[in-house]
Amino acid sequence: MGDQQMRSSLEDLEGFSFDEAPWTTPKPLADSRVAIVTTAGLRPAGGDGADWNPGDQAMQLLPASAEGLVLAHFSPNFDRTGWIVDPNIVFPIDRLREMADEGVIGSVADVHVSFMGAQIDHTLETIRLDTGPAAARALLDDDVDLVLLTPV
C-alpha cells in the first residue's frame, strides 16, 4: 500500500491558492477544442527537451501523439509500468480522439503541454508568473478552449 503512505505524507503539504478561484465560462463541450496539460514530466525523445530535474518549473510543449514521448519525471515515488504499457494512463490522447470522432468534443488540439509535479517550492512562482502563462498563450494560439489536467 505504497500510495496510501505517500498520500498520508503529502495530503497536508502547503499549496498556493488564489484569493478568488478564476472562472472561465466554458463553451459547449461538443464545440470545444481540447488540450492535455500534464504534470508527468513528459518530453519528446532526444533534442533539447526539459530535463525535469528536482524543482524544475519549466513547461514543455508536446505533439498530439504519444509516440516518442519520454516520461522523465525525477521522482521515484510513483508507478511507471502503466505508462510503458499504455500512455493513455497519463496522456489520454487516444480517448480524446475517440471522443472527437463521436462528436462528444469538438476537436483535439495540435499542441499539448507538460509540466512536472512534486514541486519543492509550493509558491510555484515561475509557473504562476512565467511558464504557466506561456503555456496558456501557446494553447490559445492553437485555439484551445478546454484543458484537461492530469497529475503525476
Cα separation, 49 vs 30, in Å, equals: 33
User: Quick check: 49 binds other proteins (CB under 8 A)?
Assistant: no
Applying CB under 8 A, among 83, 106, 108, 114 the residue interacting with other proteins is 83
Interface residues for other proteins in 118-137 (CB under 8 A)? 124, 127-128, 132-133, 135-137
The distance of closest approach from Cβ of residue 3 to other proteins in the complex, given in angstroms and rounded to an integer, is 5
Q: Is 47 in the site for other proteins (CB under 8 A)?
A: no
146 binds other proteins (CB under 8 A): yes
42 binds other proteins (CB under 8 A): no
Q: Confirm or reject binding of residue 138 to other proteins (CB under 8 A).
A: no
Q: How far is the CB of 141 from other proteins (least distance, A)?
A: 12
Which amino acid, 130? Answer: D
Contacts 24+ apart (CB under 8 A), 14-19: 14/122, 15/122, 16/122, 16/123, 16/124, 16/128
- CB-hemisphere CA count at 13 Å for 144? 22
Binding mask 92-111 for other proteins (x = CB under 8 A): x-xxx-xx----xx------
CB of 100 to other proteins, least distance (A): 12
Do the Cβ atoms of 42 and 60 come closer than 8 Å? yes
- CA distance to 1, 48, 54, 115, per residue, from 61 (Å): 34, 12, 19, 9
